[in-house]
Amino acid sequence: MALETLDHSPPPFFRQGLPAALRFALLSLMAIGLMVADHRLQVVMPVRASIATLLTPLQWASLQPGRAWDALEQSVRDMQQAQDTVDEYQVRSIAQAQKLQQIEYLLQENRQLRELLALRPTVDRSAQAAQILYDTSDGYVQRLIIDKGQVAGIRSGAVVIDTSGLVGQVTRVHPLVSEVTRLTDREQSTPVMNARTGERFVAFGESASAGERLELRFVPASADMRQGDLLITSGLDGIYPPGLHVGQIVLVDRRVNSSFARVLAAPVSREQGRHLLVLQPLRDPLSQAAQSVQAEQGRAP
Amino acid sequence: MIMPAGKPLLLPANPRFIALTLVLALLLQMWVNLWGQRWMPDLMQAVLAFWLVYQPRRVGLILAFVLGLLMDVHEAALLGQNALAYVVMGFVAGLLHRRVLWFPLREQPLQVAPMFVLVAVIEWIARLWHSGMWPHWSQLLAPVLQTALWPLVAALLLTPQRRPYERDDIRPL
């Protein structure tokens, strides 16, 4: 209570509840416990999910000024620019039409060849469009929040793409929203393949001050890698579909004193616009891991 | 209790007004976060610190903890990181509040600056432990800006308490 406040009740002299220092110690311990639990044990998901659901209306409200501004901006944007965009897209769609027709033909041919060779057919996976709600922005984590969650059938591990390429992976699913970890997050790794040579690597996120980059680790110094090579997903993991564009190599640094080359790539997805596509994983990566653990435990005497 | 001479006697703070300002601060902070600038001040922290100092009987550590958790989930940060920072802020505010209130508004920022710096340092340490990343230099600005905002926040949030005790219909303000 402020010193000079006119209040109706006197301050409590005797019954003050727990001492402030004890309350402070308890709550700090609780916070630290939560941090450890979140970091090491992954057991606080329900808490997080319920808080996220509680926050959804507030988040919606906080997005409204920006949306209103966008709408205003869009309504007064230059007609010419809109026309240019339309022209550009028309040119692009003509260029793609030919490719599309070829793809139809190739798909047909591929199916026949697979049948001839008695290979298993590739599986179509279900996809859902989602909208970016906001970008979590602290320079430490590279995450996006999208407007689809458990209710819409999003599963943890789903792959997220946009028109230009792979954006990331769904890492946390709340009832109404989900968190997408970008490729460039420090804790994200993506199985990739060099489209030119077919060699497979793992790309790790690296969001340093130099910008958002992917680092290919454990690339032998003798590997055939050139600046400008396209990286695509290999599709061997059963989570990422094969052939999604991931990045382009910007730096290959071969050092004398190391048997590995330092290879950096720039992500190709530009994340323009608000819309993303969420591709459901073919199988649940977590339940699969759990099954394999159970199987191993079953095998152990 | 001896009041410094020449200070106006304030009305009691309305709990509903406190709740409203905290929710608004949360909204504003979410909105500010959309720009993704690291040097932006934490408005939630500024408003919460004000109430912790001015109304410690109504706004306490538990509320600070809960608000911190909300911010954690919103920022998709480590759960408990902001909660710890806010709880520390609450405790320091509890130690400081009697001292701070003896100073006029324009001299209070100097008194609360160490609190904001301490809170920022705690957040940095939590992140360093979690993701092994050092803070970007521009993040040093956030506590400075919060301190600079203090007189403004305080003046704004004290306005309803500065109304006359008996409402005068002829002069409503």
- Of B27, B38, B83, nearest to A34 by CB-CB distance is B83
Residues of A numbered 182-241 whose beta carbons fall under 8 angstroms of chain B's beta carbons: which are they? 186-187, 209
Q: Does A141 touch chain B (CB under 8 A)?
A: yes
Q: What's the sign of the alpha-carbon dihedral A73, A74, A76, A77?
A: positive
Beta carbon pairs, A and B, within 8 Å: 154
Are residues A37 and A170 located together in one domain of the fold? no
Assess whether A149 and A208 both reside in one domain: yes
- Measuring CA to CA, which residue among A47, A276, A30 is closest to residue A165? A276
Distance CA A142, CA A206 (A): 10
The burial of A134, by beta-carbon neighbours within 10 Å (0-12 exposed, 13-18 middle, 19 or more buried), is given as buried
Within a domain: B28: yes
Considering the domain boundaries, does residue A257 fall inside one?
yes
Which tokens is B57 given? 């009987």
B73 Cβ under 8 Å from any chain A Cβ: yes
* Domains held by chain A: number: 2
CB B111 within 8 A of CB B117: no
Mean pLDDT of B7-25: 84
Q: What is the mean pLDDT of chain A?
A: 80
Query: Does a structural domain hold residue B63?
Result: yes
Q: Has residue B10 been placed in a domain? A: no
Question: A301 falls in which pLDDT band (50, 70, 90)?
Answer: very low
| Counts for chain B of helices (H) and strands (E), in that order | 6, 0
Percent of chain B with pLDDT over 70: 90
The answer as to whether B170 is a domain residue is no
Q: Are residues A128 and A222 in the same domain?
A: yes
Give domain status of residue B88, yes or no.
yes
Specify whether A134 is located in the same domain as A259: yes
* Cβ neighbours of A257 (radius 10 Å): 4
Neighbours of A181 (CB within 10 A): 23
Residue finishing a domain among A76, A110, A143:
A76
Burial (0-12, 13-18, 19+ Cβ within 10 Å), A194: buried
* Domain membership flag for residue B95: yes
Q: Are residues A142 and A258 in the same domain?
A: yes
Q: Is B151 within 8 Å of B46 (Cβ atoms)? A: no
**Concatenated DSSP letters of B120-146:** HHHHHHHHHHHH--PPPGGGGHHHHHH
* A65 and A189 assigned to the same domain: no
Say if A219 falls within a structural domain. yes
Residue numbers in B near A66 (CB within 8 A): 31, 34
- Whether B97 contacts B149, CB under 8 Å: no
Which of A31, A137, A138 is facing B80, going by the closest CB pair?
Answer: A31
Domain that holds residue A223: 124-283
Distance between CA atoms of A169 and B30, rounded to whole angstroms?
23
A148 and A60 share a domain? Answer: no
Residues A262 and A136 in one domain: yes
Residues of A in contact with B75 (CB under 8 A): 136-138, 141
Residue finishing a domain among A76, A107, A133: A76
Q: Given a cut of 50, is residue A300 above it in pLDDT?
A: no
Q: For residue B84, give the nearest of A1, A31, A172 by CB distance.
A: A31
B10 with A6: Cβ contact below 8 A: yes
Whichever domain contains A218, its CATH number is 2.40.10.340
Bigger pLDDT: A143 vs A138 = A143
Is the pLDDT at B31 greater than 50, yes or no? yes
CA distance A33 to chain B (A): 8
Question: Which of A108-117, A188-197, A205-214, B145-154 is the least confident region?
Answer: A205-214
Question: In a 3-state reduction of DSSP, which class is residue A143?
Answer: strand
Q: What is the pLDDT of residues B107-149, one digit of tens each?
A: 888 888 999 999 989 988 888 887 777 777 777 888 898 899 8
Q: Which domain holds residue B130?
A: 15-160
Is B6 part of a structural domain of the chain?
no
pTM listed for this prediction: 0.70
Residue B166 domain-assigned (yes or no): no
Cα–Cα distance, B159 to B163 (Å, whole number): 7
Structural domain count of chain B: 1
The percentage of residues in chain A with a pLDDT greater than 90, rounded to a whole number, is 4
Using 50, 70 and 90 to split pLDDT, how confident is the model at A272?
Answer: low
From A150-159, A195-204, A270-279, the region with the lowest mean pLDDT: A270-279
